[in-house]
Structure 1
C-alpha cells in the first residue's frame, strides 16, 4: 500500500541518506581511449564484475504526444538484437551466465550488467548488440505493449497509483513529471516500431552517459570495454527538458474511489541535493516523518491516536524539481483528523525545531545503515553511478558520515523554518473520506 511509496523513495535516495561504509572505498576514475569516463572499484577476490550505465534524461525525454515511448523502448531493448530474436537473445545471455536489466525512470534510463570474468568479453558483445543494434521486432513490440497496457489498466484501479498520478499532475502540470511515465492507453496504443528507434536515439546517447564498474577488471580493461560497448552510440540525444515549475498550492483534492480506506499523499516544495541545507533537511525529515517508528508523525498520528497503520515523509530531489512529500492510508472516517494532526506537526516542526534527543536519534539512524548498502558489487556500482549523476566527489562514501554528524539543532531549525509550511501542503485523497472537502 502507501508504505511502498516510502520504500521507493528511500531506495532512490539510499546513496545519500546514510553514513559511511565500514571501510574506505578506493574509487578510481577511468578515462577510455575514446574519452568516456567511469568510476571503478577494483576487486579481484572473485571472478565477477558488476557494470552500471545511466543515461540522463529518462522518460522526461518522451517526444511530444508520445508519452510512454521511452518506457516501452527500454522494455524492448533485450527483446532481440542483431541477428537474434527475443528468445535467441535470452538464450545467449543464459549460456554466458550473464544478467542484464534495463529500467526507465523520470530522470534516467538504467542498464545493469553482471558477468563472470571468463565470459566478460562475450557478455559485453551481447550487451553491445542490445544497445547499438536493437531489433524492436513487431511481434515483440505488440507483446510488450500489451504488458504495459495491462499495467496502465491495473493502475487505473489502484488507489495508490491514482493518488501518485493525481499528486504528480497537481505538482508539475504539463511537465513530463506531471504524468505517468508508462503513458496512457491511448498514447501507448499509437506507438510504432519507428517510434522505438526514435526513442532510443533521444536518450541512449554518449553526451549523457554515467558509468561505474566494481569487481574483477582493471582500469585498462574497463577503458577498452567502454569504447567497445558505448562508442558507437549517437554522440548527442534530445535536448533536456526545462526546469520543472512546481504548481502546488495548499489545500485538499479528493478523488472519489469506492473503498473503506482512503489513500493520502501530501507535499509541498522540497530542496535540491546540491543545496547547502540538504543534509539539515534530511535530518529534519527523519525527525518529522522518516523511516522507523520514532518520527513525530508516527507518534502523533499512529501511536497516540490510531489513525493509520503507517505514515511517513520523504525528500524527492529530482533532476529538474524537488518536493517534500509524505503519505498514509486511513479509514474514511479517520482521514480528516489524520490530515489535521499532520498539518499541526508540520507547523510545529517549522516553528519549534528539534530536541537534543531527537537530533541524536536521527543521526544515529541515518549514520547506522550505510555499511549495509555495500553488500555486493552490484550495490556498490549502483551507489557510485548515482554519486556521479549528483556531482558528488569520489571520497563522498568515506566522508558522508561526518556531514551528517555536523548538522546542528540550529541547522535543522533554520531549514525547517525555511521549507516547511503547513498552509502550503497539498493533500490528495483517494477514497470517500468523511468530512473532507
Structure 2
C-alpha cells in the first residue's frame, strides 16, 4: 500500500467514527482570478481531494465526430508537457498522487488526490494534463484501439444494446441518443486535430465547477486554483439544447439471440428544481428505488419470481428528465414482468401510498444520507455535484428537512399527477415471447 492509499484509509477510519449527524462546513471562495470554488477544511490528515467538473461532456462532440471527447479524455493521463505516457505514470507514482478523468453525457470530471507535502509538484503535473496534454500519435492509436474494442464488445452485450436502443428511441438526434463512445467508423476517422478541438470545446472556464476537501486553507486553495486553471480557454463550445423526448408508451422489441430479455422502461420525469421533486423522490423509493422493500421488487420478484432484480430511478440530466427503470427476465417470462410493472405503475397512480410506506421511506432516506459523507474524496464529489445542480451550501443541512416535510396528501397528489402509465415506454432486447409491439 502506497502512502496516499494509507492516508486515505486513515481518513475513512476517522470519519467512520463521526456521528451520523456530523455537519459538513462548506466555505465558498472566489479567487483573485475569478474562479469560484467550495472548500471543506480538514487538517486532521495531510491529504487533499480536489474535484473539477466541466459542464457539457460528451454532448459537446462536434457533428460527425462522435467519440472525440471520450477519446480525448482517455488521453489526458497519457503524457503531458515534457513527459510521455510512461514518464507521466512514473511521476504520479513517485508523488503518491492520483489523477482520474471521466467523460459523461453532461460533464467531464477530473478527480485528484494528493499529499500536502507534494502539493506543488502534484499541481504542476495536473496543470500540464489540463493545459498541455501531449496527444502523442502513439498514445492516440493505443487508446483508440482500446475504445474500438469496447465498442465491438458492447455491440454483443444485451444490456448495452438495450441501453443504446432506449436512448436512440427516447432522445433521437440529441447527443443523448447515441453512444458517447462513438462508432467504429467515427472513432477510426478521428484525427489529432479533432482531439485538440474536443479539448478546447470542453475544458473551459465558463463551465467549470470546483470543490476541495482536506488539508488546505482558503488562501492556499485560492492561489492554487489561479495557478492551475488561469490559462484554460475562457469559453468552450455552446452547450446543446434541451432534448425532445419521444416516450409514446407501449413496447419496442429489439431482436437479439439471448435466453434472457433486458427491458428498459421510462416516462417523462421532472427536474430537481421542480417543487414536486422531493415528493417524487420518495415516491420513486417506494415504487422501485428501495431495493427489496420497493413495490416493484415485491410484485415482480418476491411474489412471482420473474427476475433477480427490478428498479426505477429519476434520471435528471441537464437536457432531459426521464423517470425510468430496468428489469431482466427469461424470454418466456418477460411479458408477464412488463405487465406487472405497468399494473403497479397504474395502481400507485390511482391508489397512492400508505402512511406507513411514507414514514418507512423517510426513515430510510434520511438515515442513509449522512452515511454518504464517509471520506474527503466522497465529500468533494458530492460538493461539486451540488454546485452543478444549482444547490446552495445549506442543502446538506436542509435536505432531510425537505424530505420530512412531504405529507401523505402531497405525495399522493404527485402520484396522480406525475405517474403516467399511458406514456410508460418499454424497450425490450432479446427474443421475448408473447410481447406485441414494434420491432427494430
How many Å separate the matches in 2 of 1:145 and 1:22? 47
Q: Does 1:245 align with 2:244?
A: yes
How far 1:401 sits from its partner (Å)?
0.8
Deviations 1:178-229 (A, max 9, x none): 1110011111110011111100000100000000000000000000111111
Q: Does 1:59 align with 2:58?
A: yes
Give the conservation status (yes or no) of the 8 Å contact 1:102–1:110.
yes
Structure 2 unmatched runs, 5+: 1-18
How far 1:21 sits from its partner (Å)?
5.3
TM-score (norm 1): 0.95
| Equivalent residue runs for 1:19-58 within 5 Å | 22-58=21-57
Structure 1 unmatched runs, 5+: 1-19
| Equivalent residue runs for 1:91-130 within 5 Å | 91-130=90-129
How many Å separate the matches in 2 of 1:357 and 1:366? 14
How many Å separate the matches in 2 of 1:403 and 1:314? 19
Q: Does 1:150 align with 2:149?
A: yes
How many Å separate the matches in 1 of 2:360 and 2:157? 35
How many Å separate the matches in 2 of 1:392 and 1:150? 39
Match of 1:70 in 2: 69
How far 1:305 sits from its partner (Å)?
1.0
How many Å separate the matches in 1 of 2:176 and 2:156? 21
Match of 2:84 in 1: 85
- Structure 2 SS opposite 1:293: helix
CA shift in 2, pair 1:358/1:170, >3 Å? same
CA shift in 2, pair 1:21/1:75, >3 Å? farther
Match of 1:9 in 2: none
Q: Does 1:336 align with 2:332?
A: no
How many Å separate the matches in 2 of 1:262 and 1:190? 34
- Structure 2 SS opposite 1:165: helix
How far 1:80 sits from its partner (Å)?
0.6
How many Å separate the matches in 1 of 2:269 and 2:292? 23
Match of 1:406 in 2: 405
Match of 1:416 in 2: 415
The structure, 1 or 2, with the larger RCO (C-alpha pairs under 8 Å, 6+ apart) is 1
Give the conservation status (yes or no) of the 8 Å contact 1:21–1:397.
no
Match of 1:345 in 2: 344
The number of aligned residues is: 418
Q: Does 1:378 align with 2:368?
A: no
How far 1:423 sits from its partner (Å)?
1.8
Match of 1:310 in 2: 309
Q: Does 1:325 align with 2:324?
A: yes
Which stretch of the first structure deviates more once superposed, 232-241 or 410-419? 410-419
How far 1:22 sits from its partner (Å)?
1.9
How many Å separate the matches in 2 of 1:23 and 1:267? 37
Which stretch of the first structure deviates more once superposed, 213-222 or 395-404? 395-404
How many Å separate the matches in 2 of 1:368 and 1:249? 37
- Structure 1 SS opposite 2:32: coil
How many Å separate the matches in 2 of 1:410 and 1:60? 39
How big is the alpha-carbon RMSD for the aligned residues of Structure 1 and Structure 2? 0.9
How far 1:311 sits from its partner (Å)?
0.7
How many Å separate the matches in 1 of 2:364 and 2:156? 36
How far 1:309 sits from its partner (Å)?
1.1
How many Å separate the matches in 2 of 1:21 and 1:200? 41
How far 1:419 sits from its partner (Å)?
1.6
- Structure 2 SS opposite 1:333: coil
Match of 2:269 in 1: 270
CA shift in 2, pair 1:21/1:391, >3 Å? farther
Match of 2:215 in 1: 216
Match of 1:280 in 2: 279
Match of 1:292 in 2: 291
- Structure 1 SS opposite 2:415: helix
How many Å separate the matches in 2 of 1:68 and 1:335? 33
How many Å separate the matches in 2 of 1:338 and 1:268? 17
Match of 1:7 in 2: none
- Structure 1 SS opposite 2:399: helix
Match of 2:5 in 1: none
Give the conservation status (yes or no) of the 8 Å contact 1:21–1:374.
no
How many Å separate the matches in 1 of 2:296 and 2:111? 37
How far 1:291 sits from its partner (Å)?
2.8
How far 1:370 sits from its partner (Å)?
1.6
- Structure 2 SS opposite 1:244: coil
